[in-house]
C-alpha cells in the first residue's frame, strides 16, 4: 500500500512527462486492485474458517447459502473499500499535495 501511495505522490509533483504519468497511474490502480483481491481472499478465508465447520456441518442447506452470501458480501465490501480509498488518495494527490511542493 505504501509503495502505491509513493507512486501517486511522485506523480502529484508534476515532474514526470505525460506518458510516464499515465503509466504510473495505471500501476497505482493495479496495486490497489491487487491489494483488494488479496484482502478479499483473506477475508473469505477467515469467513470460511468461522462458518464452514460450525454452520455448514450442522445445518446443510439454509446456512450454507448464508455462508456463501457472506463470502460474496465480504468480497464486495473489500472491493468497494479499495475503490473509495483510491478515489480519496487521488483527490489528495491531485489537489492537496502539489501545494506542498
Please report which helix (H) or strand (E) contains residue 91, including its range.
helix 60-91
The DSSP code for 93 is I
pTM, entire model:
0.35
Q: What is the DSSP string of 28-68?
A: HHHHHHHHHHHHHHHHHHHHHHHHIIIIITTSHHHHHHHHH
19-55 tens-digit pLDDT:
666 666 666 666 666 666 666 666 666 666 565 555 5
Amino acid at each position: 500500500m505504501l509503495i502505491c501511495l509513493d507512486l501517486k505522490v511522485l506523480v502529484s509533483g508534476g515532474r514526470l512527462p505525460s506518458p510516464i504519468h499515465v503509466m504510473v497511474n495505471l500501476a497505482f490502480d493495479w496495486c490497489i486492485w491487487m491489494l483488494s483481491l488479496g484482502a478479499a481472499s483473506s477475508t473469505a478465508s477467515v469467513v470460511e474458517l468461522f462458518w464452514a465447520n460450525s454452520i455448514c456441518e450442522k445445518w446443510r442447506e439454509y446456512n450454507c447459502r448464508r455462508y456463501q452470501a457472506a463470502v460474496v458480501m465480504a468480497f464486495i465490501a473489500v472491493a468497494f473499500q479499495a475503490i473509495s480509498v483510491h478515489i480519496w488518495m487521488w483527490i489528495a494527490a491531485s489537489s492537496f499535495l502539489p501545494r506542498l511542493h
